[in-house]
A and B are shown apart, each in its own frame.
Chain A
Amino acid sequence: MAITAENLGKHFGDVEAVKSLSFHIEHGELFGFIGPDGAGKTTLFRMLTTLMLPDTGSASVLGLDVVREYKNLRNRLGYMPGRFSLYQDLSVEENLRFFATIFNTTIEENYHLIRDIYIQIEPFKKRRAGQLSGGMKQKLALCCALIHKPDVLFLDEPTTGVDAVSRKEFWEMLKDLKAQGITIVVSTPYMDEASLCDRVALIQKGTILNINTPEAIVAEYGKPLFAVKSARMYELLGALRGFSFAHSVYPFGEFVHYTDSRAEAQPEEITAYLAGQGFTDAEAHSIKANIEDSFMALMESPSGQEIP
């Protein structure tokens, strides 16, 4: 097992940031913690990377206890924090050399690990890190986290605020690293990135809602789900919520996702109801849930976000 956590918890004042989490991650896995801001992802990562002491429970990474054996562990893990934390006034090359040196290695020794990523920023190696674009900063941070050849890599929200194309490129890089045998633990608020992981934990308010392969999580979606469409989308939301069998109604790109409260339902029933409400153009078809549908179903209810 690459990572094990038993009842791992952390609170700040009255806020329980991480609530007694237990999970394990296998060697060589690409594992995702998927959840919104405030879910506890960063606190969890800080505990697993030995940067913060847990209040309760324990965790080990690569068989090393995160509290007692932190010194050994730090040599074997790589961590890319959510906030850019390289030296802004050192150049690209200087940053990389610095991180190699503090881990008693050289850029040359582990160059093969970062080569594919580093060649993309090499033309700017004399530029100060603070003057790089967001995408280049991210690539440099990844190189710095990899230069000591870690066995496990923690990436805290590497794609937040990054455009859709750069996000795809970043996941390609992660796939290549996984192929080299590195265990990768990544957190993200983007639900669509779940399908790129071997297994995911859906996390919200310090609690794991579900942990499994993305395929297994969506297969557990319990209710009939339909994609519904009309030219008048905003009005369609209200109309569907007025349907007596409606369980949940959410806008979902060009469709509205409608969940029926019954065990079985037919799309024709929905379109017939909508036609009666003046939506003669409405179309509905049965669909399989995706991770975001599952996440929302697991979030108890919209009142799950009430004021504490």
Chain B
Amino acid sequence: METTTTIKPDERESVITTEQLTKRFAKFIAVDAISFSVKKGEIFGFLGANGAGKTTAMKMLTGLLSPSSGKASVAGFDVYKQAERIKQNIGYMSQRFSLYEDLTIAENIRFYGGVYGLSRTTIADKTGALLQRLQLEHARNALISSLPLGWKQKLAFSVSLLHEPAIIFLDEPTGGVDPITRRQFWELIYEAASEGVTVFVTTHYMDEAEYCDRVSIMVNGRIEALDSPRGLKERFHASTMDEVFVTLARPSA
């Protein structure tokens, strides 16, 4: 039997907690009193149909948007009063917001290291380690624009971890990426989580939902279900996460 002594997720501390977190835009309730928590080192899948409120919820959790009501703390900081501290303690990556195309790999690392206030020596050390880990030493002076999308995404992921954040938010990180690179990307996620980084990820690939420790599914601003992929499949008598998603996201369909 297993002899590992890893702590079970539910015994670990929570790094994201929300209580009745709500965002209204005029009369429209984009996020409707969501309450959940995410544990340290957990890979948390944040799913929902287009327009379900995922982006708004993520903006509140990353300190970019102030909630209308409810409570939330991220990495130990309050979303109302300590939004700047949150930004310093999280990493963020999406397909739309990535690296600077007309800077080289090394220049991007130096830039982001500087933004996060790392010292020159730290940046130099981290640059070497990062390039080695991704086997990109030979490409340190290559322009980002010359790299295939898959490499950009893997690099952007690693750069967003430069300042050793407690949590990384990934917004559809693998959209449009080829199937092999998509899997290599998930192995980077696994690796980061095994080192204690909490991963909060959105995706439209339902097979990727299976890689998460727990998955929440948002429908019309609410969290309709939250459990492990196995738990969700059992509860909805489904054989795949795709079926679970279809059942929940369009109850009428």
Contacts and interface: CB of A to CB of B under 8 A. Distances in A.
B119 interface: no
B183 A133 contact: no
A87 interface: no
23 contacts: A37-B149, A37-B177, A135-B51, A161-B204, A162-B204, A164-B206, A164-B246, A164-B249, A165-B246, A165-B249, A165-B253, A189-B177, A232-B2, A237-B187, A251-B187, A252-B207, A253-B241, A278-B3, A299-B179, A302-B184, A304-B180, A305-B181, A307-B147
A164 B245 contact: yes
Contacts of B190: 234
A292 interface: yes
B180 A296 contact: yes
A135 B180 contact: no
B250 A165 contact: yes
Given A237-B187, A307-B136, A250 B142 contact: no
B175 interface: yes
Contact of A280 (B1, B150, B175, B211): B1
Interface in A140-187: 160-168
Given A160-B175, A251-B187, A308 B146 contact: yes
Given A135-B51, A163-B49, 5 more contacts: A161-B50, A250-B183, A295-B178, A302-B180, A305-B150
A128 B3 CA distance: 61
Contacts of B146: 307-308
Contacts of B194: 234
Interface of A: 35-38, 133-135, 160-168, 189-191, 204, 231-234, 237, 250-254, 278, 280, 292, 295-296, 299, 302, 304-305, 307-308
A299 B178 contact: yes
B186 interface: yes
Contacts of A204: 178
B10 to A, nearest CB: 16
A36 B186 contact: no
Nearest to B250: A165
B212 to A, nearest CB: 11
A165 B177 contact: no
B206 A250 contact: no
Nearest to A301: B180
B78 interface: no
B227 interface: no
A280 B2 CA distance: 8
B107 interface: no
A278 B180 CA distance: 27
Interface in B194-247: 194, 204-207, 210-211, 229-230, 240-242, 245-246
Contacts of A253: 206-207, 210-211, 240-241
A305 B180 contact: yes
Contacts of B183: 250-251
B91 interface: no
